[in-house]
Amino acid sequence: MFFVIVAVYAISQPLPYYAMESYCGTNNSNPTVWETQNNTNDAPEGLPNGAYAYHILPVNGFTPSPTNGSFRIAGTAVIVFIHFSKAPTTIAPPSSLLSPAISGSYDVRFIETGLPPQTDWQVAVNYTSPNLCITGSQQVCTYPAGSAVPGPGCYQTPAGNPSDIAPTLNLAKFSTGPLPLGSLTLNPATSSGFFSIYHGLLRGSDWSLLISTAIVGGGAIVGLVVGAISGFYGGVVDEALMRLVDIFLSIPQILFVIVVIAVITEGNQQVIGLNPPDTHIFLLIMGFLVTWWPFYARVVRGQVLVVREQKYVEAARAAGAGRGRIIRRHIIPNSVYPVFIQMSLDVGTIPLLIGVLIYLGFSLFTSPYFPEWGAISANSVTQLQLFLDTCTQPATGCVIPWWQILFPGLVLFFFAISVNFLSDGLRDALDPRLRR
């Protein structure tokens, strides 16, 4: 029930696209994305329906360059023009640009930004949700015109607040304002781009809960089905499924997730037609899920082996119930509670694993400002490493930024502890032997 409530809550929330600034923001299209588009190595010789191709057309007065034009990705052609001008004006793109470079239907979008131009027209990556960058919604993390500091959607320290200073834990202020949890400089070299730990942790609860519950819930469903089938039928089916479980259990989880995301993002940025931040999160969830279900399958199988020998299963069989009915009505309900316990234990560890990925320098999310508990914690620890590199003589007056470590660490700790208590409660509530 708890997970249902959490999942419903998380899904009902509007997903904040904090990670959009690299797509809507500063200077040009995402370099990795562009590289992928530029890579025509794998295009078949005959092309037109091929995955990667772009057509450069001369634009009024400009020499053709890879930064303007149109392109087509995996069958859906989307053309995005970004117009850079100092004053926000609406200029229609030249008609030559609009002449169909590729036969078929495609979508044309225009974006006006106020940044100083490098070239007048630039092609951005394609994304299918309209108006994400154009409307200045609170949800969007963008850079205001001519500024290197991200806008209000990013969880940066509010203007006027002291940044990169130890928080003052003034209890009297709790009722009037946000918790002063201090802030974290993301780029100490330029001392720009600092963010508020409080806001980040607050907004991170959405993402962390969504990702954790999706991974654990999905893994539990797959594991439950596989484990029930394997335990109930036994014999060759059991042997084959358990070998499969062995295979997946012997690949270290973190490595598998790294490999999956690296491979798929290297090959094709737009895997399933989602927006770039969504694609990464989807891949993250799927990668974890693939390595997560075998644990549950093993747990369920062990339980099913016990349950299937019980008298009530025999009675059901004697009463003429089919195999499917026995599995659905008798086996699964009676072997599900260890999974609930294991699930609630596992939910707490997923933000830690995400933090590990971020800490390894693996660009999991498209933005360093992505509000996820593990990511925030990993960013803080990276800062501590920089501190250790630059300040090797702490006795002579370096201030250790303790708050950058403490508060994200506390959030992770209390999250894990609370789901741990939840698992204890679930054990008491669900185990029929203890309930009696």
Applying CB under 8 A, the residues found at the interface with another protein are 38-43, 45, 47-48, 53-56, 102, 243-244, 246-256, 258-260, 262-264, 266-267, 348-349, 352, 355-356, 359-363, 374, 377-378, 381, 384-385, 388-389, 392-396, 400, 405, 409, 412-413, 415-417, 420
Q: How many residues does the chain have?
A: 436
Shortest distance, position 169 Cβ to another protein, whole Å: 21
**Cα–Cα dist 53/41, whole Å:** 10
DSSP secondary structure string for all residues of 144-175:
PTT-SS--TTS-BPPTTS--SS-----GGGGG
Q: Could you give the 3-state DSSP secondary structure of residue 121?
A: strand
Nearer to another protein, 133 or 412 (CB): 412
Task: Please identify, using beta-carbon distances, which residue of 166 and 251 lies nearer to another protein.
Answer: 251
Smallest gap from Cβ 260 to another protein, in A, equals 7
Q: Which is nearer to another protein, 4 or 263 (CB)?
A: 263
Q: Which is nearer to another protein, 106 or 256 (CB)?
A: 256
Nearer to another protein, 17 or 415 (CB): 415
- Cβ 159 vs Cβ 196: under 8 Å: no
Q: What is the rounded CA–CA span in Å between residue 84 and residue 297? A: 54
For the chain, counts of helices (H) and of strands (E): 16, 7
**Residue placing its CB nearer to another protein in the complex, 194 or 295:** 295
CB of 112 to another protein, least distance (A): 29
Q: Least distance in Å: CB of 395 to another protein? A: 5
Which residue's CB is nearer to another protein, number 133 or number 285?
285
57 vs 111, beta carbon nearer another protein: 57
Shortest Cβ distance from residue 12 to another protein (Å)?
28
In whole angstroms, how far apart are CA 139 and each of 15, 136, 367, 402? 8, 8, 14, 30
372-385: b (≥16 Cβ within 10 Å) or e = bbbbbbbbbbbbee
Of the CA atoms within 13 Å of residue 338, those in its CB half-sphere come to 19
Q: CB of 8: closest distance to another protein in angstroms? A: 26
Name the minimum Å distance from CB 363 to another protein: 6
CB of 249 to another protein, least distance (A): 7
Please give the Cα distance from 285 to 282 (Å, whole number).
Answer: 5
Q: Which residue number, 16 or 371, has a Cβ lying nearer to another protein?
A: 371
Report the alpha-carbon distance of residue 24 to residue 113 in Å, rounded.
Answer: 9
Q: At 232, is the secondary structure helix, strand, or coil?
A: helix
Residue type, 373: W
Closest approach, Cβ 383 to another protein, in A, equals 10
Asked if 295 contacts 350 with a C-beta cutoff of 8 angstroms, the reply is: no
Bridge partners (DSSP) listed for residue 55:
70
Burial status of residue 370 (CB atoms within 10 A of its CB: 0-12, 13-18, 19 or more): buried
- For 99-133, b/e burial (b = at least 16 CB within 10 A) is eebbeeebeebebbbebeeeebbbbbbbbeeeebb
